[in-house]
Structure 1
Amino acid sequence: MNNRLIVGMDGGGTKTRVMVKESLDGETLFDQNFGMSNYNNIGVEGLKPVFSEIYEALFACFGERLQNAILVLGSAGVDRPKDIDIYLNALKESGFTCQLEVVNDAEIALVGGNGDRKDALMIAGTGSIVMGVDAKGNTIRSGGWGGLISDEGGGFQIGLHAISAVMQEYDKVISPTSFTDKLLGHFQLNSPEDFMDLLYLEDTIPVDKIASCTPIILEAWVNGDEAACTIVEGELNKLVRLVVGISRQIASDNFRLSVAGSLLTKSSEYFDTLKNKLSITLPQVELSAPLYDPVFGAIIIGEKYK
């Protein structure tokens, strides 16, 4: 029996979940959360302290067995060989000498969501992306090109359009919204004009901060606010178009579409409305809750290396 350890790591912008198993159907030997490990958020220099803490916790549990383990890390922003090297170097500098594999966090979410590397996945949280696997096993994608030009249906786009609606109300272009005062309170602003300080005074656009107001807009949408309905329904329609793009690339309209990201896993209204829209445009696509968490997707990938 091969009792080689498989270490799965889901490295996100808020936390890093680490799971250890010997086999897919075996006992979970370790499952803990650590600090964030997305270098786009904490910088390259911020990776080593997090990975060192993880290494010390794992070594305390497994000792020398860790040297022969398989570690699969899925992290946001892993799109280029340069990104992979950054994570590999940080892991090695933190003490890891075992076999290391680094992939995009969407890859482990797809594998976990569908139980294997097949079909498709939609992520909608702060940003968004739809990715899938074609008949030749190639990974394909639609969207996910960043908030300035893409990330349709994600929290950043919803928040940005909501702020725009507040400014349009301020200019008497549209009727008053039900969420203007709530947005001002959420961002601790005295006037709509203060959004200029929020948006333009920093060197970078505060993507996460803008996305943080999404629950306010979703609530207004559910309650029938006209501006919120225009925003949310428009972004949902854009998500449908991303799935159409994946369908064209796969050359099929019959596949399972697993979901990940807070907008689709925590808002039943958002999920259900998207499902209804998809059923009209692509009735054979099966929009589904994930079978397993992304960290278990990393375990599934690691199992293939045993």
Structure 2
Amino acid sequence: MKEKIILAVDGGATKTTLSIRSEHGECYFKKTSTGSNAQTIGAHGVKEVLNELLWDAYQSTKIETIDAAVFAMAGIDSASDLKLVSEIIELCCQKVPFKIEKIIIENDVHSALLGLVGLNNPGALIISGTGSICMATDGNGHIVRTGGWGHRAGDEGSGYWIGKEILNIIFRMEDGRLKKTSNLKEHLYKKLQIETTEQLITWLYQPNYTNAQIASISSILQDAVLLGDDQAIAIARQAAKELYFLVNAALQKINYVKKPLTLFVNGGVLQNNPIILNLLQQYTLQNYPNVTFMICDKNPIEYIVKRAVDSLKKP
């Protein structure tokens, strides 16, 4: 029997990776390009990224038939988002000679969750990077989401949220509204290589501002925590609580009770801030003692590949 071929795309906000593999894991092609979130770069930008990756993949492999393709794309948050991204992907696929038997298009976190737990197992995935989101599945096709609403409305407990909290403390200290001192200012000024509040303002309101810029500030939190800084510890505690609220709401939505369930953990905030991860575990296990935490240790494309391979088993 001829070995089946899958195509997997991890279309994130900052980078997009496309890989072609055999169903047993042999890699024929892998390439990473810039981000492909339609909400950020628009439909035309997504077309450019996908057209280039798909054409390069075909030119490199000359494979004619793809049995299953999974496009796991950031920025699919509603039915209208899905419609737009699906139209973009269909147009892009028409421009390459690939014959794709089965195409799955879904939110990137949705795909990662199914790649992690499989199609028929319960589980959950909490991510805290630039933004924050949690998704859970009951293993019977019911998949739910909490958070992921972006920096304007949410992203509590994320790198962006932590960065904003740090800035708030520094400006309150500058005004004299915060009586307790904090070494967060010293850490931040050192990171940004600045010396004054005026320079901080210039950095904050620069023309090419991005959310990732604010999120990058969160990297100083752990050092301040290790020095026993009360303000930093307070931010870490609140971040953990906010992430627990996402987990709790997601588990309630799938009517989770007491059966064993794995909660997968991903994102720079949870991987680089042990105090936040430890507190999240404490808060969760107090109410859900049968939940097991597992830190994601692979590149996200690997979970999308697994999602694509699993899709071959289901009509």
Structure 2 length-normalised TM: 0.85
2:179 to 151, 174, 180: 174
Contiguous gaps of at least 5 residues in structure 2? none
Contact 1:112 1:295 in 2 (8 A): no
1:259-274 matches, within 5 Å, as 259-274=265-280
Q: Which moved more, 1:45-54 or 1:293-302?
A: 293-302
Q: Which residue of 1 aligns with 2:303?
A: 297
Q: Which residue of 2 aligns with 1:256?
A: 262
- Read off the aligned partner of 2:64 and give its amino acid letter: R
- Read off the aligned partner of 2:34 and give its amino acid letter: G
Runs of 4+ in 1 over 6 A off after TM superposition: none
Query: Against the structure 1 CA distance between its residues 53 and 100, is the aligned structure 2 distance closer, same or farther, given a 3 Å change threshold?
Result: same
- Per-residue CA deviation, residues 168-227 of structure 1 (Å, 9 max, x unaligned), is 11122232211213324545655335655565686x974211111111122212321111
**Percent pairwise identity:** 26
Q: Which residue of 2 aligns with 1:216?
A: 220
Contact 2:31 2:53 in 1 (8 A): no
State yes or no: 1:287 paired with 2:293.
yes
2:81 to 79, 83, 87: 83
1:35-184 matches, within 5 Å, as 35-66=34-65, 68-94=66-92, 95-96=95-96, 98=100, 99-116=102-119, 118-134=122-138, 136-172=140-176, 173-184=178-189
Task: Give the CA deviation at 1:302.
Answer: 2.5
Counterparts of 2:185 and 2:213, CA distance in 1: 16
- Read off the aligned partner of 1:274 and give its amino acid letter: L
Counterparts of 2:86 and 2:153, CA distance in 1: 30
The DSSP-based 3-state class of the residue aligned with 2:235 is helix
Structure 1 length-normalised TM: 0.87
Give me the CA root mean square deviation: 2.7
The DSSP-based 3-state class of the residue aligned with 2:64 is helix
Q: Which moved more, 1:86-95 or 1:53-62?
A: 86-95
- Read off the aligned partner of 1:168 and give its amino acid letter: R
Contiguous gaps of at least 5 residues in structure 1? none
Counterparts of 1:226 and 1:138, CA distance in 2: 41
Q: Which moved more, 1:159-168 or 1:4-13?
A: 4-13
Contact 1:130 1:144 in 2 (8 A): yes
1:162-241 matches, within 5 Å, as 162-172=166-176, 173-187=178-192, 191-192=196-197, 206-241=210-245
Q: Which residue of 1 aligns with 2:283?
A: 277
- Read off the aligned partner of 2:241 and give its amino acid letter: N
- Per-residue CA deviation, residues 120-171 of structure 1 (Å, 9 max, x unaligned), is 1101101111111136422112222222332121001100010000011112
Query: Against the structure 1 CA distance between its residues 136 and 59, is the aligned structure 2 distance closer, same or farther, given a 3 Å change threshold?
Result: closer
Counterparts of 1:210 and 1:190, CA distance in 2: 18
Task: Give the CA deviation at 1:305.
Answer: 4.1
State yes or no: 1:33 paired with 2:36.
no
Counterparts of 2:25 and 2:184, CA distance in 1: 49
The DSSP-based 3-state class of the residue aligned with 1:212 is helix
- Read off the aligned partner of 2:108 and give its amino acid letter: D
